[in-house]
Amino acid sequence: MRKQIVAGNWKMNNDVAQTESLLANLKNQTKTTNAEVMVAPTFVNLASAAKALEGSGIEAVAQNMHFAESGAYTGEISASMLKSVGVKTVILGHSERREYFNETDETLAKKVDAALANNLRIIFCFGEVLADRKSNNQEAVVESQISNALFHLNADAYKNIVLAYEPVWAIGTGETASPEQAQDMHAFIRKTLATKYGSDVANNTSVLYGGSCKPGNAKEIFSKPDVDGGLIGGAALNADDFFAIVNAF
């Protein structure tokens, strides 16, 4: 079922005290929309955040996970470990994971399978770099990122998949895709899903926008018919800004 979602990706920010303080500030905010709200703290703070947010209407989600169930993968975290601390959703394929940690479509397909096998919901990120946009190649790039990592799945799997279109040139740069650029790409993503799976999957899958989304531009971006919410980086580190975005619907 297509939902409005605003998810905050805290990346490698906030130690224990800062996490506690931000969570307390978030719990003091008032939500005036139907949007589902999620935040993704670092792994060190994920279990305590999940506990602190119980009953708050805000979900603590993971920024990443490994595809293996357990074993000799130093520094990694498995799907069942996430579940054991009450996590139900994981972000996969963020452009920073792709760029700095060499995550490929192939690795991501394995992570997707492991997450779904463990009944985790996935926020699957993808998006073109600036050179692709400049050469007008963005649709081909996005189509291949989606199809390589997700098109081995059956239609039923999409009940647990949220897509997040994040043009890399807009992440953390202050440069945002225009609402029209976001809408055009989201419509293309839905068309790509419809071609492969039919209109039910295309119309029922939430597609979020990410890339310098702020209180000042969220309303216009979220007003576009194929934009179902946002994955928020920088602005998610401030509770007032984050909830201004949540309440922008």
Residues at the interface with ligand PEP (CB under 6 A): 9, 166, 171-172, 210-213, 231-235
Q: How far is the CB of 101 from ligand PEP (least distance, A)?
A: 14
Q: How far is the CB of 138 from ligand PEP (least distance, A)?
A: 16
Q: How far is the CB of 211 from ligand PEP (least distance, A)?
A: 5
Calculate the CA dihedral of residues 132, 136, 140, 145 and round it to 10 degrees.
30
Which residue(s) pair with 92 in the sheet? 124
Q: Of 36, 103, 166, 186, which residue is the catalytic one?
A: 166
Q: Which of 229, 245, 228 lies closest to 237, judged by CA?
A: 245
Look up tokens 């202050």; give the residue: 174
Q: What is the number of the residue whose Cβ is closest to ligand PEP?
A: 233
User: 166 catalytic, yes or no?
Assistant: yes
Residue whose CB is less far from ligand PEP, 88 or 214: 214
What value, to the nearest 5°, has the Cα angle with vertex 215 and ends 136 and 210? 35
Tell me how far the alpha carbon of residue 17 is from its chain's centroid: 25
Q: Of 59, 94, 128, 143, which residue is the catalytic one?
A: 94
Q: Which SS3 state, helix, strand or coil, does residue 52 take?
A: helix
Residue whose CB is less far from ligand PEP, 202 or 229: 229
Residue whose CB is less far from ligand PEP, 45 or 212: 212
Calculate the CA dihedral of residues 19, 3, 63, 7 and round it to 10 degrees.
-40
Q: Which of 91, 170, 161 lies closest to 127, judged by CA?
A: 170
Residue whose CB is less far from ligand PEP, 80 or 247: 247
Handedness of CA 38, 39, 43, 49 (dihedral sign): negative
Q: How far is the CB of 214 from ligand PEP (least distance, A)?
A: 8
Q: How far is the CB of 155 from ligand PEP (least distance, A)?
A: 27
Residue whose CB is less far from ligand PEP, 182 or 201: 182
Give, to the nearest 10 degrees, the angle between helix 179-197 and helix 138-150: 40
* Angstrom distance (rounded) from CA 162 to CA 206: 5
Catalytic residue numbers, as ranges: 94, 166
